[in-house]
């Protein structure tokens, strides 16, 4: 990130946000319903179902690339066209390969072989660092690096995961009926997580890409909070799904408390470590742009913590077939980051994290009401 100017970083932010939204189509239309159905199989059959379903996500992934192309077209006139093209090309490649890699990695958790997921993550980290070093040494234009290195890393991680799961290739389980509506789930997720994309586009049009660049630098610095959230949620996935499948309110509350405790400790610790520019903070040297605006990183870390609150409840609602009311809540929540982003002329780079905070406070409160309905069969 430090090799990109604030304006280029703002363009990267829009394309990266569009990639995240585009990846939701294969994830939610195809992969998540399959993962929910796999929990009904014996543990030794689950990985086979995951491996044999990898290709099914490619068509919706290609459709999802349209989000990247549309976002690139909208910001074209306010951004460097060359950077837009380079980021869009690598973003499209990442939108196809990343959901497959995530599906396989999550499959290891569902099959209660979390060590496999950890090895996949480790190979991905090594590959992304190696790819970045090669690109820098070859003098490749900086805009190719952030998403291009992730494309390489996801390919390496996917290949490594397939090698680890070779025994499962011969397992062809009869998949149980998929009861989760992928279309409603995709609508829910795109509305919920599309807020960052909408905010980035609106902020680019209202205040220019430089403002979005500062917000993106802060997001990168605050990203470890969401990385921990993703890892903990994946590790607890089978417990979430079992609690919802059996309508076990006590088990659901227990796993939620475990999740919230880990995330709270990790988030508060990271806030003190990386929230401010001080001598023992390596991010200050790695991403100096993130610290140009006082208090932007603490607010961004807070926004990630608030976003994390929805994760376990959301997983349980999906497994409880509550995707329709979820989608309605998430669609309504999209208005909040959009309106806040329009104030970027006054609030500057703070518009994006403030919008995310407002959106996810709303989602959490509304989710809780339908969660109580989903688990009403067993009272505590």
pLDDT per residue over 36-49, tens digit each? Answer: 788 777 777 888 88
Number of residues that make up the chain: 380
When mean pLDDT is compared across 13-22, 92-101, 131-140, 244-253, the lowest value belongs to: 244-253
- Could you tell me the pLDDT band of residue 339, with boundaries at 50, 70 and 90? very high
Provide the 10 A C-beta neighbour count for residue 284.
17
- The C-alpha atoms of residue 237 and residue 46 are separated, in whole angstroms, by 13
Four-residue CA torsion sign, 338, 342, 347, 349: positive
Provide the 10 A C-beta neighbour count for residue 186.
22
Residue 259 pLDDT greater than 60, yes or no: yes
pTM of the model: 0.76
What region does 208 belong to: left with phi over 0, alpha with psi -120 to 50, or beta?
A: left
Contacts 24+ apart (CB under 8 A), 244-248: 244/315, 244/316, 244/317, 244/318, 244/319, 244/320, 244/374, 245/39, 245/40, 245/319, 247/320, 247/374, 247/375, 247/377, 247/378, 248/378
When pLDDT is averaged across residues 180-197 and rounded to a whole number, the result is 79
Q: In the prediction, which pLDDT does 176 show?
A: 55
Residue 267 pLDDT greater than 50, yes or no: yes
- Could you tell me the pLDDT band of residue 69, with boundaries at 50, 70 and 90? very high
Above pLDDT 70, what percent of the chain?
A: 95
When pLDDT is averaged across residues 51-77 and rounded to a whole number, the result is 91
- Could you tell me the pLDDT band of residue 379, with boundaries at 50, 70 and 90? very low
Q: Between these two residues, 246 and 362, which has the higher pLDDT value?
A: 362
Q: In the prediction, which pLDDT does 334 show?
A: 92
Helix, coil or strand: residue 350:
helix
- The C-alpha atoms of residue 12 and residue 145 are separated, in whole angstroms, by 11
Q: For 138-181, where are the alpha helices, taking DSSP H only?
A: 145-164
Q: In the prediction, which pLDDT does 175 show?
A: 59
């Amino acid at each position: 990130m430090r090799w990109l100017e604030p304006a280029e970083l703002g363009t990267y932010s829009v394309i990266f946000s569009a990639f995240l939204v585009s990846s939701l189509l294969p994830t939610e239309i195809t992969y998540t319903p399959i993962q929910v159905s796999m929990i009904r199989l014996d543990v030794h059959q689950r990985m086979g179902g995951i491996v044999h379903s990898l290709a099914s996500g490619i068509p919706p992934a290609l459709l999802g690339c349209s989000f990247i192309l549309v976002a690139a077209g909208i910001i074209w006139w306010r951004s460097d066209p060359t950077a837009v093209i380079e980021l869009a090309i690598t973003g499209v490649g990442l939108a196809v390969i990343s959901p497959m890699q995530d599906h396989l990695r999550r499959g290891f958790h569902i099959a209660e072989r979390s060590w496999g997921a950890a090895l996949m993550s480790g190979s991905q980290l090594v590959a992304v660092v190696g790819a970045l070093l090669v690109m820098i040494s070859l003098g490749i234009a900086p805009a190719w690096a952030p998403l291009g290195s992730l494309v390489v890393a996801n390919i390496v991680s996917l290949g490594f995961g397939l090698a680890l799961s070779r025994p499962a290739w011969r397992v062809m389980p009869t998949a149980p009926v998929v009861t989760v509506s992928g279309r409603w789930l995709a609508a829910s997720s795109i509305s919920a997580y599309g807020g960052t994309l909408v905010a980035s586009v609106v902020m680019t049009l209202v205040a220019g890409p430089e403002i979005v660049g500062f917000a993106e630098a802060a997001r990168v610095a605050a990203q470890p909070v969401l990385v921990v959230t993703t890892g903990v949620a994946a590790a607890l996935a089978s417990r979430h799904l079992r609690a919802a499948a059996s309508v076990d309110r006590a088990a659901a509350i227990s796993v939620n408390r475990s999740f919230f405790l880990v995330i709270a400790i990790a988030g508060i610790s990271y806030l003190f470590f990386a929230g401010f520019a001080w001598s023992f903070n390596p991010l200050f040297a790695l991403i100096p742009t993130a610290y140009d605006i006082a208090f932007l990183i603490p607010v961004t870390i807070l926004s990630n913590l608030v976003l994390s609150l929805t994760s376990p409840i959301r997983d349980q609602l999906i497994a409880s077939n509550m995707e329709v009311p979820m989608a309605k809540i998430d669609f309504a929540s999209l208005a909040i980051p959009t309106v806040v982003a329009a104030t970027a002329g006054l609030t500057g780079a703070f518009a994006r994290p403030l919008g995310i905070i407002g959106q996810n406070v709303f989602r959490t409160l509304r989710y809780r009401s339908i969660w109580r309905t989903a688990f009403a069969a067993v009272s505590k």
